[in-house]
Amino acid sequence: MVQKELADEIVLLDVKEGFAEGKALDIMQTAALLDFDIKVTGTTGDYAKTAGSDVVVITSGIPRKPGMTREELIGTNAGIVRDVAQNILKHSPEAVIVVIANPMDTMTYLTAKITGLPKNRVIGMGGILDSSRFKCYLSQALNVPASDLQGTVIGGHGDTTMIPLARFATYMGVPVSELLDKATLDKVVADTMVGGATLTKLLGTSAWYAPGAAGAALVESIVRDQKKVFPCCVELDGEYGQKDICMGVPVVVGKCGWEKIVDYKLNAEEQAAFNKSADAVRNMNDVLKELKVL
Ligand SMILES: NC(=O)c1ccc[n+]([C@@H]2O[C@H](COP(=O)([O-])OP(=O)(O)OC[C@H]3O[C@@H](n4cnc5c(N)ncnc54)[C@H](O)[C@@H]3O)[C@@H](O)[C@H]2O)c1
């Protein structure tokens, strides 16, 4: 976001003493090298310094360790995200909120419920990252640049709940199913679904570069009113056959947040996968009540 100069000022906030201040200073010390001219500041827990933000990105919460699922983070992260969402509402009541903390679909649902904001102003980021991973594995299988590929992942942002839409994936307009045999395409889909887990195993914690780039792409479309279509986690009200749930679907993203849900007209198999994914996300949302955070 800093390199894209998406704002005059970006404020980092963390609870760990001095950590956000240190990150901010480290980033500012790259300004002469990376040629940006915006201010980055850090604060330990002082939300007043974030007051009046146009966009707030929630990344606070624990990441998974090797072998863990995103869902196992709920016990810790639900309390954190609830507190953070309440503070955001107090200090930046007009902000669009982007939720990244995991389990992201449930944390987005929690943020929507806790803040009571108009639904277009709460957006979960997961599908943009998963789609970028999908395009990465497709590009390796096809030996073509990832940027020449179209590919979308919808559904939940979990190893078993995400749905890479192979039928809609194309290389310069040509369906990838015409370019790859079924076994190779199936492997691309499977690798995409465990894309995050593969990195957690290698790094010992969650990934940063691709999640950061995906978050920045989303925020750019908001602040520059680009109207890009991204798969994002949004509150559904009958679209894609689901209600009272936040899940990944393609949406138009502009300055008001997500502006419109795009209907991909899923076939029966894809819709069945979406419904199954919704069941799993709904089960996770029910845990919020058990945890008494909702
Ligand atoms: N949606 C996605 O696509 C995606 C991608 C990557 C990571 N994630 C998730 O994002 C979250 C953060 O991951 P990470 O790798 O940056 O973890 P990290 O541990 O590097 O950073 C999380 C930070 O949150 C801070 N924090 C904890 N409680 C806080 C609070 N109440 N207020 C403010 N800050 C608080 C911690 O001090 C820590 O510095 C995790 O839940 C991870 O699973 C999501």
d(CA 288, CA 292): 6
Q: Hey, what amino acid is at 80?
A: I
Does ligand 1 lie within 6 Å of residue 55's CB atom? no
DSSP-assigned beta bridge partners for residue 237: 243
Which residue type, as a one-letter code, is found at position 219? Answer: V
Please state, rounded to an integer, the average pLDDT across all residues of the chain: 97
pLDDT score at 76:
95
pLDDT for the residue 127: 98
Nearest residue (by CA) to ligand 1, atom 16, is 59
Mean pLDDT of 45-63: 97
Token pair recorded at residue 96: 């669009």
Task: Evaluate: CB of 61 within 6 angstroms of ligand 1.
Answer: yes
pLDDT digits (tens, 9 = 90+) for 144-199: 999 999 999 999 999 999 999 999 999 999 999 999 999 999 999 999 999 999 99
C-alpha closest to that of 186 among 150, 136, 134, 231: 134
Cis ω on the peptide bond leading into residue 66 (within 30° of 0)? Answer: no
- Note the pLDDT tens digit of each residue in 263-280: 999 999 999 999 999 999
Distance CA 122, CA 111 (A): 7
pLDDT of residue 288: 96
Cite the active site residues. Answer: 157
Q: Is the CB of 123 under 6 A from ligand 1?
A: no
Ligand 1 within 6 A of CB of 80: yes
**H or E stretch covering 89:** helix 74-91
- Ligand 1 atom at shortest distance from the alpha carbon of 207: 6
